[in-house]
A and B are shown apart, each in its own frame.
Chain A
């Protein structure tokens, strides 16, 4: 076994490192673009770039990418439609509000590796620890909403999650007085929330010690949020390859068949919720700490859930890269793009769209969702698996063509094809085994590949 993996290693290793290198290159390029290149350029060159793609928008895009990757686990991988994903975003944000903000209710002071001054009152915990705490809290919440919906089919599930998203907002809206206890300050919300600290970099004077919403802070946030997105992408990709990921895909294609093949539905579904919620919690903390610097219930409406869902659908459900790009596109459109397009049209046509176009963002986003569903259901960058499924004629279509034979033919083709592949694999591994006959492990099967 060890020998087999070693023999195949050189080829796989290069491929394995391809995307992290590319990703780090992109993030570093973005960082240096705003840190070094743009300020040194003349105004006519840098101004349009800054107008179309300000640093704050990049940060927002990165934050939304975390959310979209999280929802992608639930909707794209496991096929469980979640319309209340905003709940995790909200809970993550409020965790940040509880653990890294000036007190609104509690009288104790507590500091843990926090970048803010030690004399500041309130609870102040390090950003990364809060991320983990929020992730865990949200996972538990995810298990809680997952549990009663396990017996439901997809459409009921969507409604229960929608209801859950609505109720969590209501909960935080009423949280100023829960049986006389002020849990989360009700409608005004909690703020200001601590910015991200830079630790040693800040101490060395390279970066500002606190990444506030200033020009300098925003540039450095690209790196922090980029790292978070990178972790999310890594986890998404790795999980998909593993046993759990394949169980999710099976669940998505056909729940009944999956359970017949021995996929433990309860555990797999709950884990999908928990993992998706973990990402959502991190996204919530990132949003509260780096983007809005305050949390209030009015920010967590149904529209946000649909926005994230749209990112997943637009990019291509199940495809990590598609989803990331979908998140970038839509959050850019939502925060800056529509306005900028309006400005551009105005300068050509002399209209007044810059002010009115952003107001139509709900209509435009809804229209986009409907059109995507009608004309390109697989998304901009579809998963290879989905593409194959979509190109196959549906059963009724094939039957109406009077072509049971056609289906049979396709099946034989598939079997032969897969056989050829498997044969090659077996032959290859046989060669390897023959080459290393003294391999210590007699079993060529890895547990997760059986």
Chain B
């Protein structure tokens, strides 16, 4: 009698939807095969557009990777999805635009513009890092021991503030703002080679630097320690607050670098860029396995290529649907492999 009433209460129900590991695996492989077939079909139908899309995908993907790194590092260390990160990135695109076009008068991007570019990179990285660190100091730090929902909502509030600031007429306004920047040089399938080169030349060293910091330096060691156990790290004499601050600063600086590059590639600024790109970047971070740096880069490039293929490939849905495609990837991922490509499945501890 007693056990029967328990069953009604639902104890014997499974707590999670599982179709069975075998079915899940088969479905997952089917999805992967589908994507592969789609790629091949695009290649066969129109090789030129395929190559072009691949290059655009690489270019965007590296930018996504930069933003995704900010998400993944912050998540790795304090388990917070920093919703404001995308909007921080958006603010830095506006700073870059103001600095490069309004102040320095950059119009045509040539070899001479390397100097303004470097200056903009430094300024925007500093600004991004500073804003992110201040946000951590003012808002997140007090909520570190609070329930999960609280810092998450704080992040949403910050993202709202950033968007609100960008919407002011003297900052950027509510409409998309196009900046008079032109690109020259050789093109392959409509892709400016110099654009791609610039993105690669800035992104790859940054990514290498990041890997070096996390894996080789003392600070990196502290970061990993704090990510594992904050109390333990504190007992070992690690400055936990300082380390977390540093991580936020690092993430913000990467977003700043991405902001400069994104602005130069797209030559326009818009207050809603943050939400859209933030979603894409977060999907990249999840795809690679959140908390995993290599994963974020791989995920970013993968999402960039898929998105570019959707927009430019022979069998794509067009740019009208690119958000939906990225979102579909996120959902499929959530269902089949929530831990991502490089992540390890975690079990919840009581």
Enumerate chain A interface residues (CB-CB to B < 8 A).
Answer: 79, 81, 83, 147-156, 158-160, 162-164, 166-167, 170-171, 173-174, 256, 259, 262-267, 301-303, 306, 309-310, 313, 359-370, 373-374, 377, 394, 396-397, 450
How near does chain B come to A10, taking the closest CB pair, in angstroms? 32
Q: Which residue of B lies closest to A396 (CB)?
A: B145
CA–CA, A359 and B166, complex, Å: 11
Chain B 71-113, CB within 8 Å of chain A: the 1/0 string? 0000000011101000000000000000000000000000000
Complex: how many Å from CA A49 to CA B112? 63
Q: Kindly state the separation between the CA atoms of A310 and B154 in the bound complex, as whole angstroms.
A: 11
The 5 tightest CB contacts between A and B, nearest first, are: A362-B164, A366-B160, A369-B157, A264-B10, A363-B164
Query: Is B330's beta carbon under 8 Å from chain A?
Result: yes
Query: Nearest-CB distance from B94 to chain A (Å)?
Result: 15
Contact between A148 and B161 (Cβ–Cβ < 8 Å)?
no
- Asked whether A262 and B161 contact (CB < 8 A) given A147-B17, A156-B286, A373-B150, the answer is no
Nearest chain B residue, comparing its CB with the CB of A266: B17
A203 → B minimal CB distance (Å)? 45
In the bound assembly, the distance between CA atoms of A393 and B104 in angstroms comes to 55
- Which listed residue, B142, B164, B330, touches A160 by the CB 8 Å rule? B330
Q: Can you pick out 24 interface pairs between chain A and chain B where the beta carbons lie within 8 Å of each other?
A: A83-B156, A151-B338, A155-B80, A163-B326, A166-B275, A166-B279, A256-B350, A266-B16, A301-B272, A306-B160, A359-B167, A359-B168, A362-B163, A365-B157, A366-B157, A369-B156, A369-B157, A369-B160, A373-B146, A374-B154, A377-B146, A377-B150, A396-B231, A397-B145
How many angstroms between the C-alpha atoms of A297 and B205 in the bound complex? 41
| Nearest CB in chain B: distance from A300 CB, A | 13
Q: Which residues of A contact B142 (CB under 8 A)?
A: 374
Given A148-B331, A148-B334, A362:B320 Cβ within 8 A? no
Instruction: Please give me the residue from chain A that is nearest to B276 by CB atom.
Output: A166
User: Known contacts A149-B334, A262-B10, A363-B160; can you find 10 more A-B pairs with CB under 8 A?
Assistant: A79-B149, A150-B16, A156-B338, A160-B330, A167-B323, A267-B10, A302-B272, A363-B165, A377-B150, A397-B145
Alpha-carbon distance between A364 and B79 when the two chains are bound, in angstroms: 27
B157 & A367 in contact (Cβ 8 Å cutoff): yes
Contacts of B153 in A (CB 8 A): 81, 309, 313, 369, 373
Asked whether A262 lies within 8 Å of B158 as measured between CB atoms, the reply is: no
| A155 contacts B81, C-beta separation under 8 Å | yes
Q: Which residues from chain A contact B14 at a C-beta distance below 8 Å?
A: 266
B152, CB-defined interface residue at 8 Å: yes
Chain A: which residue is nearest B150 at the CB level?
A373
- 1/0 per position for B269-302, CB-CB distance to A under 8 A? 0001001100100110010000000000000000
Chain A, residue nearest B282 (CB) = A159
**B4 vs chain A, min Cβ distance (A):** 13
B84 to chain A, nearest CB (A): 9
Given contacts A155-B152, A377-B150, contact A150 B17 (CB under 8 A): yes
Chain A residues with CB under 8 Å of B282's CB are 159
Interface centre among B156, B164, B326 (most CB of A within 10 A): B156
B324 interface hit (Cβ, 8 Å)? yes
B237: CB under 8 A from chain A? no
Cβ-defined contact, B149 with A81, below 8 A: yes
Contact indicator A366/B13 (Cβ below 8 Å) = no
* A374→B323 contact, CB < 8 A: no
B30 CB → nearest A CB, Å: 17
Identify which of B6, B162, B321, B323 gathers the most chain A CB atoms within 10 Å of its CB: B323
Q: Is the CB of A158 within 8 A of B17?
A: no
Shortest CB-to-CB span from A135 to chain B, Å, is 24
- Measured in the bound complex, the distance between the Cα atoms of B337 and A352 in whole Å is 55
Q: Using Cβ atoms and an 8 Å threshold, which residues of chain B touch A79?
A: 149
B29 in the interface, Cβ–Cβ < 8 Å? no
Whether B160 lies near A159 (C-beta < 8 A) is no
* A147–B16 alpha-carbon span in the complex (Å): 10
Choose from A159, A171, A302 the contact partner of B324 (Cβ within 8 Å).
A171
From the candidates A160, A174, A266, name the one contacting B334 in the complex (CB within 8 A).
A160
From known contacts A262-B11, A374-B139, infer whether A155 and B159 are also in contact, taking CB-CB under 8 Å.
no
CA distance A310 to B83 in the complex (A): 15
User: A327 to nearest B CB, angstroms?
Assistant: 17
Nearest-neighbour CB distance to chain A for B240, whole angstroms, equals 13
A399 to chain B, nearest CB (A): 10
Interface residues of B: mostly helix, strand, loop or mixed?
Answer: helix
Q: Which residues of chain B from 303 to 350 have a CB within 8 Å of any chain A CB?
A: 320-321, 323-324, 326-327, 330-331, 334-335, 338, 348, 350
Give the residues in chain A near B10, CB-CB below 8 Å.
Answer: 262-264, 267
Does B25 make an interface contact (CB < 8 A)? no
Q: Determine how close the nearest CB of chain A comes to the CB of B26; give it in whole angstroms.
A: 18
Q: Please, which residues of chain A bring their CB within 8 A of the CB of B163?
A: 303, 362, 366
Cβ–Cβ contact A158 & B81, under 8 A: yes
Q: Which one of A147, A173, A364, A374 has the greatest number of beta carbons of chain B within 10 Å?
A: A374
Please give the distance in Å from B169's CB to the nearest CB on chain A: 8
Closest Cβ of chain B: how far from A152's Cβ, in Å? 6
Q: How far is it, in angstroms, between the C-alpha of A256 and the C-alpha of B16 when the chains are bound?
A: 12
Chain A residue contacts of B177, Cβ below 8 A: none
Q: What separation, in Å, do the CA atoms of A158 and B156 have in the docked complex?
A: 10
Q: Are A266 and B13 in contact (CB under 8 A)?
A: yes
B13 touches A303 (CB 8 A): no
- A170 — nearest CB in chain B belongs to which residue? B323
Residues of chain A within 8 A (CB-CB) of B338 are: 151-152, 156
Which A residues are CB-close (under 8 A) to B276?
A: 166
Does A174 contact B81, Cβ atoms closer than 8 Å?
no
Nearest A residue to B161, CB-CB: A366
Would you call B21 an interface residue if the criterion is a C-beta within 8 Å of the partner chain's C-beta atoms?
no
Check if B156 sits within 8 Å of A167, measured CB to CB: no
Q: Is the CB–CB distance between A262 and B279 below 8 Å? A: no
How far, in whole Å, are A148 and B24 apart by their CA atoms in the complex? 13
| A259 contact set on B, CB distance < 8 A | 15
Residues of A with C-beta under 8 A to B149: 79, 81, 154
Give the contacting residue for A155; candidates B79, B143, B164, B165; CB below 8 A.
B79
In contact, A166 and B334 (Cβ under 8 angstroms):
no
Roughly how many angstroms separate A345 CA and B321 CA in the complex, as a whole number? 46
Q: Which residues of B contact A361 (CB under 8 A)?
A: 164
- Residues of chain A within 8 A of B283, CB atoms compared: 163
Query: Once bound together, how far apart are the Cα atoms of A377 and B321, in whole Å?
Result: 38
Q: Tell me if B9 is interfacial: C-beta within 8 Å of chain A.
A: yes
**In whole angstroms, what is the CA distance A171 to B283 when docked?**
19
Q: From the candidates B157, B320, B326, name the one contacting A173 in the complex (CB within 8 A).
A: B320
Which chain B residues lie closer than 8 Å to A303 at the CB level?
160, 163
A156 touches B168 (CB 8 A): no
**Minimum distance in angstroms from A387 CB to a CB of chain B:** 14
A360 CB, min distance to chain B CBs, angstroms: 6
* A262 engages B9 (CB within 8 Å): yes
Q: Which residues of A contact B327 (CB under 8 A)?
A: 163-164, 166-167
Asked if B17 and A155 make an inter-chain contact with CB atoms under 8 angstroms apart, the answer reads: no
How far does the alpha carbon of A313 sit from the alpha carbon of B283 in the complex, in Å? 27
